[in-house]
Every structure is written in C-alpha cells, then in structure tokens.
C-alpha cells in the first residue's frame, strides 16, 4: 500500500474567487508512451495517496478511462466529488462547439461538472494527434481576438449554466491577454503555461499574478521523456544542470523534487506527470517537507535559458515565418 499524504497537509493556493485549491496537481498526458489504462491506473493510485487535483484534456484521449477511476473512487467512498479539483480543456477543433466538448468531458470523466475548464490553445488551428512537426493544416490561421472571444463567451455561458466553475486560458502571450482580458465578463481563474527552471517565463508569471490569474506550470520537470519529435538539439535538460544536481544532492533527493519545490515556492502550481507510484507519491510529498532555502531559490532563478520545449510548430498557418510567430515575441500579436 502506497504512502498516504493527508490532503489537508498539502498547502493551498487561493484563486481570485476566494476558493482554495491544492498547490500541486497530477498531469495526465500519456503521449505515445503510456496507454490510457496506465494513466488512469496512476490516477487511481494518486487519489488514494492524497492527490486532489488532476489536469485532464479532451485531446489526451484518456478521459473515459480516467472517468471510470473517478467513478470507482466515489462509489468506494475513497473521496467525494466535491473534494476533487478536476481540470480539463477544450481542444482546438471544438472552439465553435464548446458546450458539446464540455458535456462530453463531463460525461467521460463521470464528474457532474468541471472545476476549471481551459481553452487549450488560443486559436482553432488543428492537427492530427501525434503528427509530424513539419505538417501544416491549410485551414490554420493566426490568432483573432474575435474568434478567441467567441470561444471564451461560450465558456462564460458554461459558468452561468453550472457546467464549469472556473474558466482557464492556456498557451497565452501578454499581447493576446492585453487584447482579450478587457473584453471578458468573467475573468479567468488560471492560465496554464509551460514553466520550468530553464523556461521560467518571468514576464508572463508576473503579468498573471498582477492580474490575479493563477499560473499553472506545465512540463514542470522539463518533460525529460517528451516524444523525439518535440526535442531539439539546443534543448537544455533542466534536471541535469549542475546547479539542480547540486541542490538535489544537498537535499538527498531527485532533482525532479527540487524543480517542484521551486515551482511551488515561487507561486505557480506544478502539474507533474508520472505513472510510477514512487515518483508521483514523492512529487506530492515534496510539497509538504524540506523547502528550498532563499539562496537555493535565487540560484535556480539564474537557470533561465529561454528553453521553450512546446514550440507549437504544428499550429502554424501558411505564411507564418516559424514557431516564434506563435509567441508574439516582439510584444505585439503576430497576425500575418
Ligand atoms: N496546457 C498545455 O498545453 C499542456 C502542454 C503540455 C503538458 N501539459 C500538462 O502538463 C503535464 C506535465 O507535462 P509532461 O508530462 O510533459 O512533463 P513533466 O511533468 O515535466 O515530466 C514528466 C516526466 O518526468 C518524469 N518524472 C516525474 N516525476 C518524477 C520524479 N519524482 N523523479 C524522476 N522523474 C520523474 C517521468 O518520467 P518517467 O515516465 O520516465 O518516469 C515523467 O514522464 C501533462 O501531463 C499535462 O497534463 C499541458
């Protein structure tokens, strides 16, 4: 029987709505490495060891298996629905049919409502799962404020209907947020962005916290096992940097746990993925013991390498220069 960490012991983060949620969640993207059953088995184990927050997505292709696991946990009295914080996302091909996507996720996840519902990417550009990074969809187009707000308005309607409790945005840039935040009637509670020690996204982090939008950091460990197609020769392996190795040695733990402590102490919610019990238990436990010192936090702050791992090439439109166009690096929305 795995170690149980009392959920009450896990620190909480307060959303602008006043709701308190766990400071760490479990990722559920099995990619091409793990079957839906392997991922859902890990979710079953994670609930029993004390996780209460799960980061799901329609496009991960495993929501119905995870739903079986939630259902069993409710039936067996392991946990009540109200004690879980379930997040999911509408995929790019459903931006015109958000309610349909949301209802399908609720049905698959067997969870009655979604706690935090994200717009996974800020444009409807679609690609087949697992496709090559060089593939282009001729229907892809640049970000449009109007199209995004049309999708966002549907999310606001879902809050009013009680299907979702909070709205989330993901893979955003500051120029895009500047354009859309003033148009919103219900502010987003959180933004999911890639954030790890060699890609800290300080500007976005600061912008989000200033706007009371909780940063949720995906790939918090630098996704060491991401598919080959997402690897570039210049990528830095966060956990193998001498600084992370050294700090881990001082704490007598794996550098993965140092990355998670850093994320938590900085103020973002990390959502690490693992199907291995020893790993996911230690990832949760890292939140409740042996914090990093101020000096260690400062040392990790120096590890920024601008090392974006999810470049998003597959979402590019014809005429786009390269993946940098997706991230508005010049400070304005790239529309050509
Ligand atoms: N919003 C978005 O667009 C978006 C994009 C990407 C990801 N996400 C979310 O973020 C989650 C996390 O991202 P990710 O899975 O790519 O990357 P990650 O969490 O940074 O890395 C996961 C890998 O790290 C290893 N690991 C986990 N815990 C460990 C530990 N304690 N010690 C040593 N190694 C450990 C595991 O490798 P082994 O399997 O080899 O043990 C695992 O496969 C996803 O599952 C998904 O929910 C969201």
CATH number of 5-324: 3.20.20.100
Q: What is the mean pLDDT of residues 288-298?
A: 98
Ligand 1 pocket mutation, candidates 218, 227, 307, criterion most atoms within 8 A of CB = 218
Residues with active-site annotation = 60
In this structure, the residue with its CA closest to atom 48 of ligand 1 is 218
- Going by DSSP bridges, is the β-strand pair 164-170/190-194 parallel, antiparallel, or unpaired? parallel
In this structure, the residue with its CA closest to atom 31 of ligand 1 is 279
Q: What is the mean pLDDT of residues 192-220?
A: 98
Residue 129 has pLDDT above 70, yes or no: no
* Residue 127 is labelled as binding a ligand: no
Looking at residue 181, the DSSP 8-state letter turns out to be G
Q: What is the mean pLDDT of residues 297-304?
A: 98
Query: What is the position in ligand 1's atom list of the atom closest to the CA of 171?
Result: 3
d(CA 191, CA 156): 16
| Percent of the chain clearing pLDDT 90 (strictly above) | 88
In this structure, the residue with its CA closest to atom 30 of ligand 1 is 279
**Strand locations in the chain (E):** 12-14, 20-22, 26-27, 53-55, 85-90, 114-119, 164-170, 190-194, 214-218, 269-270
Q: pLDDT at position 127, please?
A: 74
Buried b (16+ CB within 10 A) or exposed e, 164-182: bbbbbbbbbbbbbbebbee
In terms of Cβ atoms closer than 10 Å to its own Cβ (0-12, 13-18, 19+), residue 99 is middle
- How many Å lie between the centroid of ligand 1 and the Cα of residue 118? 18
Residue 188 has pLDDT above 90, yes or no: yes
Q: pLDDT digits over 247-280, tens only?
A: 999 999 999 999 999 999 999 999 999 999 999 9
| Percent of the chain clearing pLDDT 70 (strictly above) | 98
pLDDT confidence bin for 138, thresholds 50/70/90: confident
In this structure, the residue with its CA closest to atom 33 of ligand 1 is 256
- How many Å lie between the centroid of ligand 1 and the Cα of residue 15? 24
Residue 1 has pLDDT above 70, yes or no: no
Q: pLDDT at position 183, please?
A: 98
In terms of Cβ atoms closer than 10 Å to its own Cβ (0-12, 13-18, 19+), residue 161 is exposed
- How many Å lie between the centroid of ligand 1 and the Cα of residue 270? 10
Query: What is the position in ligand 1's atom list of the atom closest to the CA of 55?
Result: 47
Residue 247 or residue 130, greater confidence: 247
- How many Å lie between the centroid of ligand 1 and the Cα of residue 246? 22
For the chain, the domains span: 5-324
- What are the tokens at 277? 């019990």
- How many Å lie between the centroid of ligand 1 and the Cα of residue 144? 30
Q: pLDDT digits over 66-122, tens only?
A: 999 999 999 999 999 999 999 999 999 999 999 999 999 999 999 999 999 999 999
In this structure, the residue with its CA closest to atom 14 of ligand 1 is 219
Ligand 1 pocket mutation, candidates 3, 24, 27, criterion most atoms within 8 A of CB = 27
Cβ 191 vs Cβ 168: under 8 Å: yes
User: What's the mean pLDDT when you consider all of the chain?
Assistant: 96
- What are the tokens at 52? 């209460």
Ligand 1 pocket list (CB less than 6 A):
27-29, 55, 120, 170-171, 192, 218-226, 254, 256-257, 271-274, 276, 279, 282-283, 310
pLDDT confidence bin for 32, thresholds 50/70/90: confident
């Amino acid at each position: 029987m795995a170690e149980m960490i009392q959920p009450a012991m896990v620190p909480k983060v307060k959303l602008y709505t006043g709701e308190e949620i766990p400071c760490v969640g479990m990722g559920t993207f099995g990619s091409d490495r793990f079957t839906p059953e392997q991922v859902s088995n890990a979710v079953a184990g994670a609930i029993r060891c004390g996780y209460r927050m799960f980061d799901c997505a329609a496009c991960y292709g495993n929501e119905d298996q995870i739903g079986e696991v939630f259902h069993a946990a409710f039936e067996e009295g392991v946990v009540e629905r109200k004690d879980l914080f379930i997040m999911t996302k509408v995929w790019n091909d459903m931006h015109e049919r958000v309610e349909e996507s949301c209802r399908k996720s609720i049905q698959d996840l067997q969870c009655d409502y979604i706690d935090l519902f994200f717009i996974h990417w800020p444009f409807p550009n679609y690609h087949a799962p697992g496709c090559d990074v060089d593939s282009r969809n001729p229907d892809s187009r640049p970000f449009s404020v109007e199209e995004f707000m049309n999708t966002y308005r549907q999310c606001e309607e879902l809050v009013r209907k009680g299907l979702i409790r909070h709205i989330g945005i993901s893979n955003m840039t500051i120029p895009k947020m500047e354009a859309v935040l003033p148009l919103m009637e219900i502010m987003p509670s959180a933004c999911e962005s890639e954030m790890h020690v060699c890609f800290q996204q300080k500007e976005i982090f600061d912008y989000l916290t200033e706007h009371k939008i909780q940063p949720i950091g995906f790939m918090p460990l630098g996704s060491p096992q991401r598919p080959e197609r997402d690897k570039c020769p210049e990528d830095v392996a966060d956990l193998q940097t001498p600084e992370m190795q050294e700090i881990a040695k001082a704490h007598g733990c794996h550098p993965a746990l140092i990355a998670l402590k850093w994320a938590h102490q900085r103020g973002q919610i990390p959502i690490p993925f693992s199907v291995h019990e020893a790993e996911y238990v230690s990832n949760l436990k890292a939140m409740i013991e042996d914090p990093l010192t101020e000096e260690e936090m400062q040392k990790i702050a120096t590890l920024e390498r601008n090392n974006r791992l999810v470049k998003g090439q597959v979402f590019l439109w014809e005429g786009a220069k390269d993946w940098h166009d997706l991230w508005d690096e010049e400070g304005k929305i790239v529309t050509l």
